[in-house]
Structure 1
Amino acid sequence: MLVVRPAMPADFDSLMELAVLSGRGFTSLPEDEQTLRARLDLSQASFHSEVAAPEAWYTLMLEDLAEGDVVGVAGVKAGVGLKRPHFSFRVVTLAQSSPTLDKRFDHRALVLVNECAGWSEVGSLFLKPERRKGGAGRLLAQSRYMLIGLEPQRFAEMVLAELRGWFDVDGSCPFWDHVASKFFRLEFDEADMMSASTDGQFILDLAPRHPIYAELLPQAASETIGRVHREGEAARAMLESEGFRFSGLIDIFDAGPTVAARRDDIKTVREGRRLRVRLGEDAYGEEALICSGAVARFRAVRAPVLLDGESAIIGRDAAAALGVKDGEMVRVKA
């Protein structure tokens, strides 16, 4: 059985393995020991309510209980842009007209903004390639919304997700090569690492202050504005099924799109029900997403459940994976 559980400091080796596998452009999983260890420490403190709610960052691990192997990771940041700006480019239309010539032109342009300060963020979704089937990715993705639904007041009213931008098959990033690198004068990997492991002051210092006209960019770069990485299409589809939509914002490094939704409109948050557990000897009923009833002991599985009024009848294996006993509360999304 697959279970989603809080990350712990002891998960460092597994998290580093996933970071290595994630490849270029996956900013939230840098191959940096200090950064990853700090993230695990912060996650543990977040689940134990040892940090202020807006500063929490919950990291979730997907574990195969039968093999004792961590096969995926995801995360929820309670608030972005609080201690450091959360910069994006907004894609805007600038209209210019000439009454003399009786002509009007609409120009697409990129404007540096910091619009999402205080929003929550779901991200860091990554699975080992061989485990991207059988619903594992969906379980991991939806577990983030189950966590939010347990105690919505811990999170902001708006939730965003940033999708990795386009990279060519040779590993190059057209938007970085033709646009962003002209301002930062760094290699992509160096800038990516600095973005994940520093306070981001270099972005504040060097990011462009004036609109960038898309028509002046090489076609290779302009075509990637808001384009999702080939390995991110499934993630985008899952986000859209939950109600996320393109926000008009893109990443300043790789031009990947930012999607957003109101917290209470996210499908899994909206449709989850708080029910009392009743144990059955065998697993029966329709398969559903189930999570334990408290953030501090969060665990999530997909398992058969029979809904009976305000009760959820689940099998003993599912109860053991969730760490819940008969009579305790769980949250269920059918």
Structure 2
Amino acid sequence: MLVVRPAAPADLDHLLELAILSGPGFTSLPEDPDQLAERLDLSRDSFTGAIKPQDRWYTLMLEESETGDVDGVGSVKAAVGLHRPFFSFRVVNNAQSSPSLGIKLEQKTLVLVNECTGWTEVGSLFLKADRRKGGAGRLLSQSRYMLIGAEPELFADNVLAELRGVFTPDGACPFWDHVASKFFPMEFDEADRLTGSTDKQFILDLSPRHPIYIELLPEPARAVIGKVHPQGVPAMALLESEGFRPNGLVDIFDAGPTVACGRDNIRTVRDARRLTVAISEEVNAELPALISTDSVSGFRAVRQRAYIEGDVATLTRETADALKVRAGETVRVKT
């Protein structure tokens, strides 16, 4: 059975493997054991409540319970931009006209902004290639919203997600090569590393001071602004199905889009119901449901069959054991 559970320091080897497989441009999964170990420590402290709610970064692992194999990762960062700026480019429409000539123009520009301070971020969604079918990605993605819905007061009113921008099959990034590298004279991987491991002052120091007119950029750069990496297309579809929409921001290095949604408008947060657990040897239900625990500290999630009658969800013993819940306790269920 596939189970989504909190990451722990013992998951370092699993997380490093996923980071290596994720490839370039996945800022939240650096191929750096020390950074990943710090992140796992932070996740442990987040789930146990050892740190302030706004400083928490919850990391979730997708595990095959029978084998112990870890095949995916996802995360929820309680708040961005509080300790380090959250820089993006905003795509701005500029209208110009010459009444005497009867000419009207709309020019799009990229403007460096520091917005979304304090917003919650869902991210780090990555699965091994052989797990990208059969609903595993949807389980892992939606589990992040079940976590938010378990204790919504721990999260911001607005939720965002950044998606990786376009890279060519040989690992080149058109926007970086034609635009960003002109302001950051280093390799993409180095800039990516600095973004995740410093206070980002270098971005403020080196970024363009004036708007960049998109029409003046080379076509390969223009073509990828706000576009998603091919591997990120399924993730984008999942986000859109939950109610997320582009908000006009793009990444300053690869121009990947940012999408956002109000916390209480996220479909899974809104539609999941709190139900009381009953346990039976067999469950007669036509389709599996998304089921999670009702608290952040002991969070676990599965997609299994549940028979729902009134305010009671009847689960099999195997499902209850996977969630580590007992009869009479509360779960959240989205059908």
**Which interval holds the TM-score relative to the shorter structure?**
over 0.9
| Structure 1 CA distance for aligned equivalents of residues 318 and 208 of structure 2 | 55
User: Secondary structure of the residue that 1:101 maps to in structure 2?
Assistant: coil
- Report if the CA contact (8 A) 1:43-1:57 is conserved: yes
Q: CA deviation at 1:95?
A: 1.5
Q: CA deviation at 1:283?
A: 3.5
Q: Once the two structures are superposed, what CA deviation does each residue of 1:223-257 show, in whole Å capped at 9, x if it has no partner?
A: 10001001111000000000000111100000000
Q: Note the residue ranges of structure 2 that are not aligned, 5 or more in a row.
A: none
| Structure 2 CA distance for aligned equivalents of residues 30 and 94 of structure 1 | 37
Q: CA deviation at 1:100?
A: 3.1
Partner in structure 2 of residue 176 of structure 1 = 176
User: Secondary structure of the residue that 1:277 maps to in structure 2?
Assistant: strand
| Structure 1 CA distance for aligned equivalents of residues 104 and 177 of structure 2 | 31
Count of residue pairs the alignment pairs up: 334
User: Secondary structure of the residue that 2:66 maps to in structure 1?
Assistant: coil
User: Secondary structure of the residue that 2:109 maps to in structure 1?
Assistant: strand
Partner in structure 2 of residue 297 of structure 1 = 298
Q: What TM-score do the two structures reach when normalised by structure 2?
A: 0.98
Q: Find out whether 1:158 has 2:158 as its counterpart.
A: yes
Partner in structure 1 of residue 327 of structure 2 = 326
Q: CA deviation at 1:198?
A: 1.8
Alignment of 1:37-48 (within 5 A): 37-48=37-48
User: Secondary structure of the residue that 2:20 maps to in structure 1?
Assistant: helix
User: Secondary structure of the residue that 1:297 maps to in structure 2?
Assistant: coil
Identical-pair percentage: 63
- Report if the CA contact (8 A) 1:7-1:44 is conserved: yes
Alignment of 1:76-87 (within 5 A): 76-87=76-87
Partner in structure 2 of residue 193 of structure 1 = 193
Partner in structure 1 of residue 247 of structure 2 = 247
Partner in structure 2 of residue 116 of structure 1 = 116
Partner in structure 2 of residue 271 of structure 1 = 271
Q: Note the residue ranges of structure 1 that are not aligned, 5 or more in a row.
A: none
Alignment of 1:228-243 (within 5 A): 228-243=228-243
Partner in structure 2 of residue 104 of structure 1 = 104
Partner in structure 2 of residue 138 of structure 1 = 138
- Report if the CA contact (8 A) 1:175-1:224 is conserved: yes
Letter of the 1:202 counterpart: F
- Report if the CA contact (8 A) 1:119-1:157 is conserved: yes
Q: Once the two structures are superposed, what CA deviation does each residue of 1:122-173 show, in whole Å capped at 9, x if it has no partner?
A: 0000000111111000000000000000000000000000010001122100
Alignment of 1:190-229 (within 5 A): 190-229=190-229
- Report if the CA contact (8 A) 1:284-1:314 is conserved: no
Letter of the 2:240 counterpart: E
Q: CA deviation at 1:102?
A: 2.3
Partner in structure 2 of residue 261 of structure 1 = 261
| Structure 1 CA distance for aligned equivalents of residues 309 and 99 of structure 2 | 70
Q: CA RMSD in A?
A: 0.8
- Report if the CA contact (8 A) 1:273-1:331 is conserved: yes
Partner in structure 1 of residue 312 of structure 2 = 311
Letter of the 2:327 counterpart: D
| Structure 2 CA distance for aligned equivalents of residues 195 and 283 of structure 1 | 49
Q: What TM-score do the two structures reach when normalised by structure 1?
A: 0.99
